[in-house]
């Protein structure tokens, strides 16, 4: 490689990297969204800097390339525009672990963005069911049918397609679609698992909203329409782990109440997890009882810096053998939340509501107008504290005052 040649290097896109525009094969998701991409590096110095930086990264682990790419995604300038926010990876991993994707699942994220949920679901299947990828039919289903994502931002579609490719998924279905503004009859009951953090950007134009969603819940609120969409897309027995804003849990409009009634009465609502301030609020169809978890620490500081509070191997959901100490748990609730999720039916309604997680019977939720806010049901345990008699305290203070005065007189005599 020569790094001293003068001027820009337009040939780096056309001659040196010609395969970048065709990776994935003709007609693939990747080729579609990369059709008008420019693969250029404008200067020798920038090329050298990129190569030197990547050269220092160990590439033995297949996931490393994807990790580098996801780090770059965190820095993209468009994040936060149009209601788009990158979901923290450790929150994605918790939701995916709770949903537990299986070989043969057909997974959809109707607001896929950078495909973070689909990538994590694929890694979960690889980690827990490696034998499935050795089965020819399950392997084909994994690469060709399991992963489906929609978005109406072409930049996100391009980024998401590359993210899936770098994580070893050959032919995902990642395509342009305004999920709330199109009819969904062709995909009704098409998916067994939905993982999503859709953009909740307020209200939509009623006339542009899909009529099949309005038949479920009549509203302009995007958070309620997305939940209606999830219900419509899921197969019978399908499951979903999705992020919603707090207002969905306790909003008082007729649409809010009707949506919560549908979740509790017509679907099976398994649980609600409330995350601390500074992170998203995830929300995970007949319902007997609903499991609540008050997740107050996710392993990172809750200020704008989001500084890790533990060593890297003690963060996230998958912590090494021995688990977390009590002190570490106070800084990272994610492993405990996952463990409690797995035994929520055994804990039942007997677990005190003063605990971090507990179950609430359906009848009580119905009686509270389907309010799903954890604060509605959580009980605060107060400890009785006995204070000393004020006269006794005053006497002690007077005694101390006399001792101070005596000490000052002795000091004065010494001078």
Report if residue 395 sits inside a domain.
no
* pLDDT over 80 (residue 320): no
Q: Residue count of the chain, please give it.
A: 415
Residue 163 has a pLDDT of: 87
pLDDT band with cut points at 50, 70 and 90 for residue 227: very high
DSSP letters, 301-319, are -SSTT--B-S-GGGSSS--
In this structure, the answer to whether residues 40 and 169 fall within a common structural domain is no
How far is the C-alpha of 214 from the C-alpha of 265, rounded, in Å?
A: 19
Residue 60 pLDDT exceeds 80: no
Binned at pLDDT 50, 70 and 90, residue 173 comes out as: very high
- For 294, which DSSP code? E
Judged against a pLDDT cut of 80, whether residue 80 lies above it is answered with no
The whole-angstrom separation of Cα 262 and Cα 242 is: 16
pLDDT at 201: 63
In the chain, count of helices (H) and strands (E)?
Answer: 17, 9
Q: Is the pLDDT of residue 209 over 50?
A: yes
pLDDT at 9 over 60: no
Percent of the chain with pLDDT over 70: 80
- Do 40 and 170 lie in one domain? The reply is no
**Looking at residue 55, what is its pLDDT?**
79
State yes or no: pLDDT of 285 exceeds 50: no
How far lies 83's CA from each of 63, 197, 199, 200, 246, in Å?
28, 11, 5, 6, 16
Question: Which residues make beta-bridge pairs with 390?
Answer: none
Same-domain pairing of 259 and 334: yes
Q: Are residues 143 and 5 in the same domain?
A: no
Instruction: Provide the pLDDT confidence category of residue 280 given band limits of 50, 70 and 90.
Output: very low
User: Measured between alpha carbons, how far is 139 from 171 in angstroms, rounded to an integer?
Assistant: 12
Helix (H, G, I), strand (E, B) or coil at 194: strand
Same domain (yes/no): 34, 126: no
**Is pLDDT of 312 > 90?**
no
In a domain, 214, yes or no: yes
Q: Give pLDDT tens digits for 347-401.
A: 777 889 999 999 999 999 999 999 999 999 999 877 888 888 899 999 999 999 9
Looking at residue 76, its pLDDT comes to 56
**Predicted pLDDT of residue 94:** 94
Pick from 11-15, 171-175, 234-238, 377-381: least confident = 11-15
pLDDT at 63 over 70: no
Q: 392 in a domain, yes or no?
A: no
Of 97 and 69, the structure prediction assigns the larger pLDDT to 97
Q: Provide the pLDDT confidence category of residue 346 given band limits of 50, 70 and 90.
A: confident
Average pLDDT over residues 315-320: 86
Is 398 among the domain residues?
Answer: no
Residue 168: is its pLDDT beyond 90?
A: no
Per-residue pLDDT at 366: 94
Residue 324, pLDDT > 60, answer: yes
58 Cβ neighbours under 8 A, 6+ residues apart: 64
Q: Which of the four pLDDT bands, split at 50, 70 and 90, describes residue 334?
A: very high
Convert the pLDDT of each residue in 26-41 to its tens digit. 667 767 777 676 667 7
Residue 330 resides in a domain:
yes
Report the CATH number that the domain containing residue 338 is assigned in CATH.
3.40.50.150
Please tell me whether residues 145 and 259 are part of one structural domain. Answer: yes
* Pairing relationship of beta strands 147-151 and 107-109 according to DSSP bridges: parallel
Is 282 within a domain?
Answer: yes
Query: SS3 of 292, please?
Result: strand
CB 57 within 8 A of CB 72: no
Burial (0-12, 13-18, 19+ Cβ within 10 Å), 261: middle
Say what the pLDDT of residue 5 is.
Answer: 46
Same domain, 71 and 164: yes
**Are 15 and 77 contained in the same domain?**
no
For residues 251 and 109, state if they share a domain. yes
Q: Domain containing 300: what range?
A: 64-376
Count of domains forming the chain: 2
Does 105 lie in the same domain as 88?
A: yes
pLDDT value at 81 more than 50: no
Task: Indicate the pTM of the whole model.
Answer: 0.74
d(CA 269, CA 29): 34
Provide, rounded to the nearest whole percent, the portion of the chain with pLDDT above 90.
45
> How far lies 148's CA from each of 63, 79, 397, in Å?
21, 22, 72
Q: Which runs of E-coded beta strand occur in 44-180?
A: 107-109, 147-151, 173-176
Query: 44 and 28, same structural domain?
Result: yes
pLDDT digits (tens, 9 = 90+) for 129-146: 999 899 999 999 999 999
> How would you list the strands of the sheet with 282-283, edge to edge?
173-176, 147-151, 107-109, 191-196, 234-243, 282-283, 271-274, 289-294, 357-361
Judge whether 389 lies within some domain.
no
pLDDT at 283: 35
- Contact, 161 vs 121, CB < 8 A? no
Q: Chain-wide mean pLDDT for the chain?
A: 83
Asked whether the predicted pLDDT for residue 79 surpasses 60, the reply is: no
Least confident range from 1-5, 49-53, 255-259, 297-301: namely 1-5
State the residue for tokens 């220092």: 56
Which residue(s) pair with 149 in the sheet?
Answer: 109, 174
Are residue 43 and residue 69 in the same domain, yes or no?
A: no
pLDDT at 1: 40
Whole-number pLDDT of residue 210? 83
Judged against a pLDDT cut of 70, whether residue 73 lies above it is answered with: no
Closest Cα to residue 359, out of 295, 294, 290, 293? 290
Residue 397 lies in a domain: no
């Amino acid at each position: 490689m020569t790094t001293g040649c003068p001027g820009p290097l337009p040939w780096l896109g056309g001659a040196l990297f010609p395969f970048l525009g065709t990776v994935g094969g003709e007609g693939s998701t990747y080729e579609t969204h990369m059709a008008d991409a420019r693969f250029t590096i404008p200067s020798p110095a920038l090329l050298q800097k990129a190569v030197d930086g990547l050269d220092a990264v160990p590439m033995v682990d297949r996931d490393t390339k994807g990790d580098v790419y996801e780090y770059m995604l965190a820095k993209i300038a468009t994040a936060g525009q149009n209601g788009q926010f990158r979901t923290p990876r450790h929150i994605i991993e918790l939701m995916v672990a709770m949903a537990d994707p299986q070989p043969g699942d057909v997974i959809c994220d109707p607001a896929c963005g950078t495909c973070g949920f689909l990538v994590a679901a694929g890694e979960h299947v690889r980690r827990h069911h490696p034998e499935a990828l050795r089965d020819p039919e399950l392997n084909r289903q994994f690469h060709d049918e399991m992963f489906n994502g929609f978005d109406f931002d072409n930049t996100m579609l391009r980024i998401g397609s590359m993210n899936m490719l770098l994580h070893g998924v050959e032919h995902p279905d990642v395509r342009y679609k305004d999920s709330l503004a199109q009819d969904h009859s062709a995909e009704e009951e098409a998916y067994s698992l939905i993982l999503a953090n859709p953009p909740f950007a307020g209200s939509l134009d009623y006339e542009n909203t899909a009529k099949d969603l309005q038949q479920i819940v009549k509203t302009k609120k995007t958070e309620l329409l997305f939940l209606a969409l999830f219900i419509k897309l899921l197969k019978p027995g399908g499951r979903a782990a999705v992020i919603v804003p707090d207002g969905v849990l306790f909003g008082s409009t007729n649409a809010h109440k009707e949506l919560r009634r549908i979740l509790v009465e017509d679907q099976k609502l398994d649980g609600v997890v409330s995350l601390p301030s500074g992170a998203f609020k995830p929300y995970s169809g007949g319902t007997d009882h609903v499991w609540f978890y008050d997740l107050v620490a996710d392993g990172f500081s809750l200020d704008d810096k989001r500084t890790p509070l533990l060593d890297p191997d003690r963060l996230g959901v998958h912590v090494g053998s021995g688990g977390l100490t009590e002190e570490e748990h106070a800084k990272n609730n994610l492993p405990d939340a996952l463990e409690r999720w797995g035994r929520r039916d055994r804990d039942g309604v007997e677990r005190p509501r003063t605990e971090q997680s507990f179950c609430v019977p359906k009848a009580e939720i119905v009686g509270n107008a389907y309010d799903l806010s954890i604060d509605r049901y959580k009980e605060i345990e107060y400890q009785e504290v006995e204070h000393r008699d004020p006269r006794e305290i005053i006497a002690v203070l007077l005694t101390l005052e006399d001792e101070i005065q005596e000490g000052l007189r002795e000091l004065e005599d010494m001078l």
